[in-house]
Amino acid sequence: MKTKPRFSATPISLAVSFALASAMTLSVNAEELLEEQYDSQEIEVITITGRLRSSASLALEERREDAKVVDVMGADQISRTGDSDAAAALRRVTGLTLKDGKFIYVRGLGERYSSTSLNGAIVPSPDPTRNVVPLDMFPASIIESLSVQKANSAARPASFGGGHVDIRTKSIPADFLFKVSVGGRYNTNDKNDTYTYNGGKNDKYGSDDGTRALPPSIPATFNQFGGISPINIVTGSNGTISFPQAQELNRSLAGDMYRDMTVKTEKTDPSWRGNIAIGNKFELSDDVALGYIAAGSYKRQAENYTKQETELDGDAENVLVLNSKDVVGTDMVTQISGMFNLGLEITADHKIETFSTYLRDTSDDVSVAIEETIDTLGEPRALQVFDVDYEERYLFSNQARGEHYFPYFADLEANWMYSDARSKADAPNNLTYTYNVLFEDNSNQTQVDRTLNTQDAPKYVYSRLDDRAKNYGFDLALPFSTDMAEIKLAGGYQYFEKTRENFATRLSFEVDLQPTDPNGDILKQDFDKIFSDDNIANDVLGLELKDASTDTEDYVAAEKIDAGFVNIDMDFDDVWRVYGGVRYENFRRATLPLQPDGTISDEGGRYELTDYVIADKDWYPSLSLTYKQTDSSQWRFGASKTIVRPDLREVAPVRYQDPVTGFEFFGNPDLKSSDIYNLDLRWEYYSDSGSNLSLAGFYKDLEAPIEPIQRISEAGRQLKFYNAQSGRVYGVEAEFLKDLGFIGGVHSLWSNFFVAGNLTLGDSEIKIQPNGEIDPTNTKRRMTGHSQWVTNLQLSFDSPNDMHNATLVYNVFGERIAYGGRGGLDDVFEQPFHSLDFNYALFPTDGLSLKLKVKNLLDSKTEYKQQGVLVYQKKPGTEYTLQLSYAY
């Protein structure tokens, strides 16, 4: 079975379809592939401009009236805390923590146990290393509200672990709306120089202009001769090309590649951002109204950083440092977003909406590391490693949905939705090259010599991921009454499908030139000078361009889900409310690893084609029970069965690198899905003044939870996904909101202050047994990513004349396992990060506002420790943001 080789830059849809169809015929229930799709049920959010206490109370009212255990955060609350994107805002929600500034952990469970939808529809992730969408891609300026559902229901996909986040973009305004804002940013790390290189002309727009692209001559040569090395060219030409000619052709391919990539420093440019939104609603007739809202945002900033990385070996009694790195670098981030929504209302009974969302997030990360190995620790010689990691991530989604009410058909309600989305991650021309450096002494301060390391050849990586997702569905609801209760019976169908193409090409510059050669001084020059056009054309370096891929890195995949559900909502005299249902899902997936020649890999005979195919179908019941104890207090109970399925990249036997830690991961086709049994209990109290208090408990039992585990390897830190034997998570949550008027009375200054906060306490446990590949130090431990405690505190002030307000926000999580230790070494723990932010807003006129935000006032650092040794540290610095806004 053939597909196009990984060098191909064109879509391979036909080959993918053929390969997947062939694979599916080998499995009983797998003729096509499908995936999950979220019910587009929406709860209207009423937004009132003014005090945060009011807006917070509105969000709490929505939570109070929902039949399920859910938390809601409105746009006003997000604005008040000063959070710039969905990820930063969600860490304020009870039991949620933020990972890598992008991913949400719900109740201590990693990102695999959370899911995300956009306006009720599933969208694919543009991050090739994660199944969930990086939430920092959604700027706060386009967000209407954020909903976090912690207890599943039949109308939601069964793929549910800790919680589900629905991001709702701005809705159609009631009147004309115009808002514009501009702002700037300063970080304490900006006093250092920015690390950069000569890129493309469109970098400020977050788009490569083709400068970094893989030259067309390389895939053309590969396709013509079956490879790019001289021996491949000679063999593939059937003797028509001599070996010297093949060497010359190989060097010309190297000359076609972009090489003006010497890392340099320059003064840090000011960072800035801007947002604009416009909308209106038109009454076309007495019964018909049409509205729209359009919004856009732009942000570009240089994020300078310092990192330390250490790799350990040995056991608890004898800890050895294998490798140590001191890294300085700059991540030049460019984010562009656009949104255009339309709404049509026909009487009060029919509403049709469309949502178009475009997100682009580009990271141009340039770093320089001084690396010491076990052979050079404490000596004046080391390695100087230069990394250029450029990646563009896109998400484009088109959605449509309708809500219809038919009073003449027994008050029948009908809802439908359709979504077509595409995500893409394009990482052209990522480059790593290394120099041997000699310092004046072992302080690593003054260089006295620097020579290109030819043993660790410069490597280019070209990779891309392309996901397409489509989901649609409908549901019908019929309300009726009895003497005992108000009842609504509902049912529906949902469909989801996703296809993926993932390709990576690794090339290296193999140099046959030693420093002792007559031309050896060339290796002391900068990268672009060493690999100049003249040096390559004149064969000064003895250069050969090689295919450096060592493992399968390419794969194609697809999955599908057909789902149907029924549920019933019964309200007994506004005292007892029962919301229960059952969901049926038919899930199919195929993930096919590809060899460099485009054929499907069997990993050296280890796997059959059927091993790459998954097909399962099951029933998933859920129940929510609400008891309204008084007008101000109520109890909630939830129980459900759900499932967490491994991600596409986790079941493909391919390798990839985590962009944060740099660790290499490998997929595992033997992974199984994890069934989860969930229990929730919560008591809620709401006062007439807007204050509230809630206490909750939760318990989750997991069958075969999926964990990344360090495997036994000679190639350093490598992690692979495995199923543990069992797992469980349990804990309690508390949340409160209270004004401080009780201190000095309702007419005192204290009445303008209020406090809010939440606390989650919990624990987890998994059991892992050693096998031929893994030797875990702790066979019983907490789950990866689980924190035993999480807390948020907020102190806010609103001036009596509404001219200004201020908020101090604190967030911290308990230590959590980053990955499990092996061979006697303890697990690696991410240390608590104490985040303290301050926000101040001034409203000199009705339409004008000035906002100041200070982020990370405590100058906290991200730190990982193993055996008490700091193995990873990154310093984000303290950030100051000033924004001026005008609204009409």
Residues 6+ apart with CB under 8 A from 9: 214, 216, 219
403-458 residue pLDDT tens: 999 999 999 999 999 999 999 989 988 999 999 999 887 777 777 789 999 989 99
In three state form, how does the secondary structure of 457-470 look?
CCEEEEEEEEEEEE
Which pLDDT belongs to residue 82? 58
* CB-CB contact of 230 with 250 (8 Å): yes
> 662 pLDDT band (50/70/90 cuts)?
low
pLDDT beyond 70 at 519? yes
> 131 pLDDT band (50/70/90 cuts)?
low
84 strand-pairing partners? none
139-161 residue pLDDT tens: 777 777 778 787 888 988 888 88
Which pLDDT belongs to residue 23? 38
Which pLDDT belongs to residue 614? 86
More confident: 437 or 513? 437
More confident: 483 or 386? 386
Domains of the chain (ranges, CATH numbers) = 271-887 (2.40.170.20)
Distance CA 589, CA 24 (A): 8
Tokens, residue 326: 């001191």
> 259 pLDDT band (50/70/90 cuts)?
very high
45-96 residue pLDDT tens: 333 333 444 445 556 666 667 766 677 777 776 766 656 667 667 766 766 6
The half-sphere exposure of 338 on its side-chain side, counting CA atoms within 13 A, is 7
Tokens, residue 528: 């672009």
Which pLDDT belongs to residue 116? 79
Question: In this structure, which amino acid lies at residue 657?
Answer: Q
Tokens, residue 209: 């202009």
Per-position DSSP letters for 91-153, written without gaps between them? TTSTTEEEETTTEEEETTB-GGGEEEEETTEE---S-TT-SS--GGGSBGGGEEEEEEE-S--
pLDDT beyond 50 at 32? no
Max mean pLDDT among 86-100, 384-398, 750-764 falls in: 384-398
Tokens, residue 77: 């609350």
Distance CA 141, CA 718 (A): 39
Distance CA 575, CA 625 (A): 11
Q: How far apart, in Å, are the Cα atoms of 411 and each of 486, 566, 673? A: 13, 18, 41
pLDDT beyond 90 at 197? yes
- Cβ-in-10-Å burial (0-12, 13-18, 19+) of 245 comes to middle
Distance CA 126, CA 141 (A): 21
Residues 6+ apart with CB under 8 A from 647: 112, 130, 131
Please give the model's pTM, rounded to 2 decimal places.
0.84
DSSP three-state, residue 15: helix
532-555 residue pLDDT tens: 999 999 999 999 999 887 666 788
Can you tell me the mean pLDDT for 370-375? Answer: 87
| Cα radius of gyration (the chain) | 29
Phi, psi (deg, nearest 5) at residue 658: -70, 125
Tokens, residue 27: 């499995």
Instruction: Give the orientation angle of helix 217-225 with respect to helix 243-256, to 10 degrees.
Output: 150
**Selection from 311, 376, 305, 301 nearest residue 336 by Cα:** 301
690-714 residue pLDDT tens: 788 889 999 999 998 888 877 655 5
DSSP three-state, residue 196: strand
726 strand-pairing partners? 703, 767
Which pLDDT belongs to residue 549? 76
**Selection from 819, 840, 595, 795 nearest residue 721 by Cα:** 819
pLDDT beyond 60 at 28? no
**Selection from 854, 855, 851, 853 nearest residue 886 by Cα:** 851
* CB-CB contact of 885 with 849 (8 Å): yes
DSSP three-state, residue 43: coil
Residue pointed to by tokens 């004008």: 848
- Average pLDDT over all residues of the chain: 83
Which pLDDT belongs to residue 59? 60
Can you tell me the mean pLDDT for 95-111? Answer: 67
Phi, psi (deg, nearest 5) at residue 883: -135, 135
pLDDT beyond 90 at 564? yes
> 862 pLDDT band (50/70/90 cuts)?
very high
| Weakest-pLDDT range from 19-23, 75-79, 361-365, 616-620 | 19-23
User: What is the maximum alpha-carbon separation in the chain?
Assistant: 100
Which pLDDT belongs to residue 713? 57
Residue pointed to by tokens 């109370």: 57
